[in-house]
């Protein structure tokens, strides 16, 4: 090691790390000197800690030698050196052996050291004690917990907190001292202070003590309630972090038992006016998150008070509370935007805030609370500053505009103009540009009246676009949507320019896009022009471009001359495949043995979706993404709140939990169902699967046997699939069968064919039992009473098999009924202009209902969406909590015949319940009548 290298890290200006071996040798040499130089030893320890902090490590032998050498420095009385020693001990204890050798020296400092050294010594105990030696420090820790010096007491509390997983029995004996530490206000001692300045106590001991006390009592609900009530009285807590911790404890308790929230409402109302802004924010966050999950249990006055508090925090001069209040309001706007309209004046004043983070959050929140009347003014305001913010915040704004375009399709002009402006004139990277293009693609797909304007502007954009991925995406869109426009020739020129001017990747995409215009029905003269262009491209220098042009010409020629349907499908595909099912089938096919390749891959076994069905699934996915994604963000920052607790909470405290399964997961489940059904020989004879319902819970989640039912429809058959989970720990279920009996057997139109039982269901396993019926090709609606029959057999824990000679005990278990209704015969479908489509449908049916259940309009809306299996359009799936009326618009297609059906449901909430008028129109008069008359 040269002198130059050694001296390199001596300079404070050098950013290089010290050499590890040089530091090791210097430490070993200096720490073992008979005359210790305290200043030099502190400098060496600082360099050693810097090495460790940057990820460097030492072998166990060297680390142990270092640890032993550093422990020798306890002989020196210098307090500053002693503090550095404790830092080194904590860092090295994880990679060293025999760390217990320093315990006696640390204990000595805890007992007799100065007030400066004691806190460091106490904290280092966590690094050297284990379960067998923790009891030896019990007396010292108890004494430190009640010490009048706040630093010593806080150190003891933190050490006890970290020792809890190591020596739980020992730490639990500190409960009384911890309780006393919360109550005892400990100021800093003023003796021996030089000068006029002395530190003011922040009473941080209360925060540490409260955290430890919670860990000791978190499994005792009554003890937690008593603790919350005790410390919330008489302004006992002086530290703001302790008060925030107490608010989080209330959140923890009310999440587990929402009924307790009613008792805490007066207390929460007081905390909203607390002098600490952090306490106000945490309380407002608790109230608003709880309202999202349990709106019935919270008073409107308390929620309004929380909104008022957040509104007042928007006007404070400090950035942090202002930003935090904006985040909470932003989450509320995703669920109940009408509840924060009162904050719009303050939000508008923040649009021009100097902090761009705040201005971006303000404008996105305003966009979510926007109405059709103020969208144009909001967008014009955004245009003024969007070019001044970073790409990250631009993307947030674009996402808000994107959701706005789906919620207010009639305001497409101002939205499209804004997106085109930022796309053409805005500076930004790939991610930003891609988000803008995706927003425009959504508008093209779901707002038909905006399609041609958006496509024309995208054509202009690709002339100067520098990103290949975006160019390919736009070319694909032009090929998909361009042929159906009024002037398809307009787009051909722009696409052909890409063939002439771009690289081979873009040229390949442009060839496929061009070929789709060859069979355009809106301009028959294009065919010859497209063929001429493709013939020129067939001489391209790139292999893939030539191949694509040649194949396209073959398909066009085949489709024109022999009217080949397959060729037409390749050029103008009217269906899309279930990609998850396709991937699964292909993976199975490829991984099979060689014999399987003797038969070609059967693509007919893959589910296909029409364009309207695919759009319906995509629209629902996007709407759920905008809503659910932000809800999850809100939950993340709420202590004690998890996805599982939210689901369990909603199941326990509402009559109807609404649609909760993500559509993508539902698609994967549908694929799984098809594979499972087609693998059963008796069911395979029924033909292709027409439709599958979502899983319906038929038992309570806490029951011994959890049963979920799924209805599978075939052309002339119905199969009920019962997914059964055995929650018993030491009992197996043999010969598990389901008996499905029609509620009115004499009038039943279904005939039972067979039942496929579960041979054996082990603990914690899930199995499927099937019951098949034959039916006519018409719509059949019936209610079935279900009974679970099985034989219980006790398991040998060693072999996990039933005991020999145990014949078992036969038993029955009644579960909820399963309904086969009109909604099971419908698939979600998308339509761009709902009103005109509704008016065009020939058959009409009207029904009136009076719902006397004590449920909200939103719960009725959720129930109707699930019962009808239709797609809610024009954002009518969200019912305002402040309004007593709502109109729901639903659209779908018959799963059997593909006929259209549209339903308008008008809801009015009165003192006697909810009055509901359903007006349905459809191409199939029977389906229309069955659906409208069987909604509830």
Tens of pLDDT, residues 23-55: 889 989 888 888 888 899 999 999 999 988 888
789 and 753 in a common domain: yes
Residue 265, domain member (yes or no):
no
Q: Which residue segment(s) compose the domain that 835 sits in?
A: 824-933
E strand or H helix that includes residue 734:
strand 731-742
pLDDT above 50: residue 12: no
Residue 67, domain member (yes or no):
yes
Q: Please give the C-alpha separations between residue 257 and each of 220, 260, 612, 884, 887, in angstroms, as whole numbers.
A: 13, 6, 44, 29, 34
E strand or H helix that includes residue 216:
helix 204-217
Q: Hey, what's the torsion of the CAs at 18, 21, 27, 29, to 10 degrees?
A: -130
87 and 6 in a common domain: yes
Q: What percent of the chain stands above pLDDT 70?
A: 89
Beta strands in 406-553 (DSSP E): none
Question: pLDDT-based confidence at 570, cuts 50/70/90?
Answer: low
801 and 830 in a common domain: no
705 and 798 in a common domain: yes
- Residue with structure tokens 């971006």? 360
Burial class (CB in 10 A: 0-12, 13-18, 19+), 2: exposed
pLDDT above 90: residue 249: yes
Q: What is the rounded CA–CA span in Å between residue 105 and residue 470?
A: 67
pLDDT above 60: residue 195: no
In degrees rounded to 5, what are phi and psi of residue 484? -90, 0
Q: What is the pLDDT of residue 670?
A: 67
Among the residue ranges 322-331, 495-504, 923-932, the one predicted with the least confidence is 495-504
Q: What is the pLDDT of residue 277?
A: 93
Q: What is the pLDDT of residue 659?
A: 39
Q: What is the pLDDT of residue 652?
A: 37
Q: Which of 820, 842, 871 is the C-terminal boundary of a domain?
A: 820
728 and 800 in a common domain: yes
Question: pLDDT-based confidence at 10, cuts 50/70/90?
Answer: very low
Question: pLDDT-based confidence at 771, cuts 50/70/90?
Answer: very high
724 and 814 in a common domain: yes
Among the residue ranges 88-97, 278-287, 529-538, 655-664, the one predicted with the least confidence is 655-664
- Residue with structure tokens 């007992």? 111
Among the residue ranges 5-9, 271-275, 610-614, 684-688, the one predicted with the least confidence is 5-9
Q: What is the pLDDT of residue 646?
A: 38
What CATH number corresponds to the domain at position 33? Answer: 1.25.10.10
- Give the residue, 15 or 755, on which the prediction is more confident: 755
836 and 802 in a common domain: no
Among the residue ranges 159-168, 366-375, 480-489, 654-663, the one predicted with the least confidence is 654-663
927 and 889 in a common domain: yes
Q: What is the rounded CA–CA span in Å between residue 186 and residue 150?
A: 6
pLDDT above 70: residue 2: no
Beta strands in 424-566 (DSSP E): none
790 and 725 in a common domain: yes
Residue 90, domain member (yes or no):
yes
Q: What is the pLDDT of residue 656?
A: 33
pLDDT above 50: residue 315: yes
Question: pLDDT-based confidence at 638, cuts 50/70/90?
Answer: very low
Q: What is the pLDDT of residue 328?
A: 92
Q: What is the pLDDT of residue 660?
A: 40
Q: At what angle do helices 277-293 and 611-636 cross, to 10 degrees?
A: 140
- The average pLDDT across 716-725 equals 90
Number of structural domains (the chain) is 4
Question: pLDDT-based confidence at 782, cuts 50/70/90?
Answer: confident
Question: pLDDT-based confidence at 769, cuts 50/70/90?
Answer: very high
Q: What is the rounded CA–CA span in Å between residue 574 and residue 576?
A: 7
Residue 610, domain member (yes or no):
yes
Q: 886 - beta bridge partners?
A: 907
- Residue in 874, 714, 880, 738 with CA at minimum distance from that of residue 818: 738
- Residue with structure tokens 């100097």? 354
- The average pLDDT across 626-649 equals 39
Beta strands in 28-77 (DSSP E): none
Q: What is the rounded CA–CA span in Å between residue 62 and residue 411?
A: 71
Q: Are 27 and 66 in contact (CB under 8 A)?
A: yes
Secondary structure class of 335 (helix, strand, coil): helix
What CATH number corresponds to the domain at position 843? Answer: 3.30.310.10
Question: pLDDT-based confidence at 522, cuts 50/70/90?
Answer: low
Q: What is the pLDDT of residue 562?
A: 62
Q: Are 572 and 512 in contact (CB under 8 A)?
A: no
Q: Are 769 and 757 in contact (CB under 8 A)?
A: yes
In the chain the first and final C-alpha atoms are separated, in Å, by 85
Residue 617 neighbours by CB under 8 Å, 6+ apart: 609, 663, 667, 828
Residue 550: how many CB atoms within 10 A of its CB? 15
Residue 2 neighbours by CB under 8 Å, 6+ apart: none
Q: What is the pLDDT of residue 611?
A: 76
Q: What is the rounded CA–CA span in Å between residue 617 and residue 24?
A: 63
pLDDT digits (tens, 9 = 90+) for 828-840: 888 878 888 898 8
pLDDT digits (tens, 9 = 90+) for 589-608: 777 777 767 778 877 777 77
Q: What is the pLDDT of residue 625?
A: 64
pLDDT above 70: residue 732: yes
Residue 287, domain member (yes or no):
no
Tokens of 471: 């160019």
pLDDT above 60: residue 580: yes
Q: What is the pLDDT of residue 313?
A: 93
Residue 616 neighbours by CB under 8 Å, 6+ apart: 827, 828, 829, 830, 871, 892
Q: What is the pLDDT of residue 669?
A: 66
805 and 828 in a common domain: no
Q: Are 752 and 772 in contact (CB under 8 A)?
A: yes
784 and 700 in a common domain: yes
Q: What is the pLDDT of residue 190?
A: 59
pLDDT digits (tens, 9 = 90+) for 867-897: 888 888 887 887 877 778 889 999 999 888 8
Residue 451, domain member (yes or no):
no
Q: What percent of the chain stands above pLDDT 90?
A: 13
- Residue with structure tokens 């010290």? 18
Residue 470, domain member (yes or no):
no
Residue 872, domain member (yes or no):
yes
Q: Hey, what's the torsion of the CAs at 695, 696, 701, 706, to 10 degrees?
A: -70
Q: What is the mean pLDDT of the chain?
A: 82
pLDDT above 60: residue 634: no
Q: Are 865 and 659 in contact (CB under 8 A)?
A: yes
Q: Which of 37, 72, 97 is the C-terminal boundary of a domain?
A: 97
Q: What is the pLDDT of residue 305?
A: 93
Q: Are 655 and 853 in contact (CB under 8 A)?
A: yes
Question: pLDDT-based confidence at 196, cuts 50/70/90?
Answer: low
Q: Are 516 and 480 in contact (CB under 8 A)?
A: yes
Q: Which of 626, 661, 696 is the C-terminal boundary of a domain?
A: 661
What CATH number corresponds to the domain at position 787? Answer: 2.60.40.1480
pLDDT digits (tens, 9 = 90+) for 842-864: 889 999 988 887 788 888 888 89
pLDDT above 90: residue 367: no
811 and 829 in a common domain: no
Q: What is the pLDDT of residue 655?
A: 34
pLDDT above 50: residue 13: no
pLDDT above 70: residue 1: no
């Amino acid at each position: 090691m040269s002198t130059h290298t050694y001296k390199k890290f001596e300079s404070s200006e050098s950013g290089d790390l010290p050499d590890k071996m040089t530091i090791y040798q210097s430490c070993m040499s200096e720490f073992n000197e008979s005359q210790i130089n305290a200043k030099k030893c502190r400098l060496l320890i600082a360099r050693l800690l810097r090495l460790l902090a940057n990820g460097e490590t030492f072998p166990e032998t060297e680390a142990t030698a270092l640890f032993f050498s550093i422990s020798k420095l306890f002989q020196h009385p210098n307090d500053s050196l002693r503090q550095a020693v404790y830092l080194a001990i904590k860092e090295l204890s994880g990679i060293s052996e025999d760390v217990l050798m320093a315990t006696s020296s640390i204990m000595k400092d805890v007992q007799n050291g100065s007030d400066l050294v004691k806190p460091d010594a106490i904290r280092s105990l966590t690094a050297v004690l284990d379960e067998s030696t923790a009891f030896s420090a019990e007396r010292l820790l108890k004494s430190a917990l009640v010490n009048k010096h706040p630093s010593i007491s806080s150190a003891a509390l933190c050490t006890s907190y970290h020792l809890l997983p190591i020596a739980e029995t020992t730490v639990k004996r500190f409960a009384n001292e911890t309780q006393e530490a919360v109550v005892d206000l400990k100021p800093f001692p003023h003796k021996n202070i030089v000068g006029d300045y002395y530190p003011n106590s922040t009473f941080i001991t209360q925060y540490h003590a409260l955290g430890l006390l919670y860990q000791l009592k978190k499994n005792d609900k009554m003890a937690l309630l008593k603790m919350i009530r005790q410390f919330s009285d008489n302004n006992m807590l002086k530290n703001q972090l302790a008060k925030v911790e107490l608010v989080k404890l209330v959140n923890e308790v009310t999440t587990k038992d929402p009924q307790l929230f009613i008792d805490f409402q007066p207390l929460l109302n007081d905390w909203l006016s607390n002098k600490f802004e952090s306490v106000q924010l945490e309380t407002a966050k608790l109230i608003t998150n709880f309202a999202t999950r349990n709106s019935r249990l919270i008073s409107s006055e308390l929620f309004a008070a929380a909104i008022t508090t957040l509104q007042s925090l928007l006007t404070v001069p400090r950035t942090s509370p202002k930003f935090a209040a904006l985040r909470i309001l932003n989450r509320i706007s995703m669920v109940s935007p009408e509840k924060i309209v009162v904050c719009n004046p303050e939000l508008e004043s923040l649009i021009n805030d100097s902090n761009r983070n705040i201005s971006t959050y303000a404008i996105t929140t305003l966009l979510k609370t926007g109405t059709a009347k103020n969208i144009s003014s909001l967008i014009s305001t955004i245009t003024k500053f969007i070019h001044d913010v970073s790409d990250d915040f631009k993307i947030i704004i674009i996402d808000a505009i994107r959701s706005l375009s789906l919620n207010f399709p009639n305001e497409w002009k101002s939205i499209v103009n804004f997106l085109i402006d930022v796309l053409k004139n805005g500076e930004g990277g790939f991610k930003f540009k891609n988000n803008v293009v995706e927003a425009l693609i959504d508008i093209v797909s779901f707002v038909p009246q905006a399609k041609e304007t958006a496509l024309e502007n995208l054509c202009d954009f690709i002339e100067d676009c520098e990103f290949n991925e975006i160019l390919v995406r736009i070319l694909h869109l032009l090929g998909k949507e361009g042929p159906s426009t009024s002037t398809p020739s307009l787009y051909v020129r722009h696409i052909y320019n890409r063939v002439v001017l771009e690289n081979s990747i873009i040229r390949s995409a442009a060839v496929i896009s061009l070929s789709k215009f060859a069979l355009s029905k809106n301009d028959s003269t294009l065919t010859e022009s497209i063929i001429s262009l493709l013939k020129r491209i067939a001489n391209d220098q790139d292999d893939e471009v030539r191949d694509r042009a040649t194949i396209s010409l073959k398909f066009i020629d085949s489709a024109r001359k022999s009217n080949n349907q397959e060729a037409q499908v390749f050029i103008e595909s009217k269906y899309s495949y279930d990609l998850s099912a396709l991937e699964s089938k292909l993976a199975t096919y490829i991984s099979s043995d060689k014999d399987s390749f003797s038969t070609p891959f059967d693509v007919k076994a893959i589910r296909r979706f029409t364009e309207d069905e695919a759009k319906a699934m995509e629209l629902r996915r996007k709407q759920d993404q905008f809503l659910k994604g932000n809800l999850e963000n809100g939950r993340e920052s709420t202590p004690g709140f998890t996805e599982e607790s939210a689901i369990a909470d909603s199941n326990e405290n509402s009559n109807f939990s609404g649609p909760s399964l993500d559509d993508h997961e539902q698609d994967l489940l549908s694929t799984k169902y098809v594979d499972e059904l087609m693998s059963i020989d008796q069911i395979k004879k029924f033909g292709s699967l027409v439709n599958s319902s979502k899983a319906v819970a038929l038992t309570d989640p806490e029951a011994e046997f959890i049963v979920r039912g799924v209805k599978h429809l075939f052309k002339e058959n119905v199969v009920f699939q019962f997914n059964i989970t055995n929650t018993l720990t030491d009992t197996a279920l043999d010969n598990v069968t389901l008996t499905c009996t029609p509620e009115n057997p004499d009038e039943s139109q279904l005939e039972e064919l067979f039942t496929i039982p579960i041979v054996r269901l082990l603990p914690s396993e899930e199995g499927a039992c099937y019951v098949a019926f034959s039916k006519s090709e018409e719509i059949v609606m019936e209610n079935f009473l279900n009974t679970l029959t099985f034989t219980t057999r006790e398991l040998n824990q060693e072999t996990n098999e039933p005991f020999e000679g145990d014949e078992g005990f036969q038993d029955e278990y009644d579960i909820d009924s399963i309904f086969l209704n009109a909604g099971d015969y419908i698939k979600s479908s998308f339509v761009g202009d709902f009103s005109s489509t509704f008016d065009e449908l020939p058959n009409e049916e009207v029904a009136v209902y009076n719902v006397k259940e004590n449920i909200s309009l939103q719960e009725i809306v959720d129930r109707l969406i699930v019962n009808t299996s239709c797609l809610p359009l024009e954002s009518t799936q969200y019912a305002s909590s402040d309004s007593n009326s709502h109109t729901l618009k639903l659209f779908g297609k018959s799963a059997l015949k593909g006929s259209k059906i549209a339903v308008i449901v008008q809801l009015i909430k009165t003192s006697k319940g909810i009055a509901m008028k359903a007006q349905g129109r459809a191409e199939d008069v029977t389906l229309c009548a069955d659906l409208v008359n069987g909604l509830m």
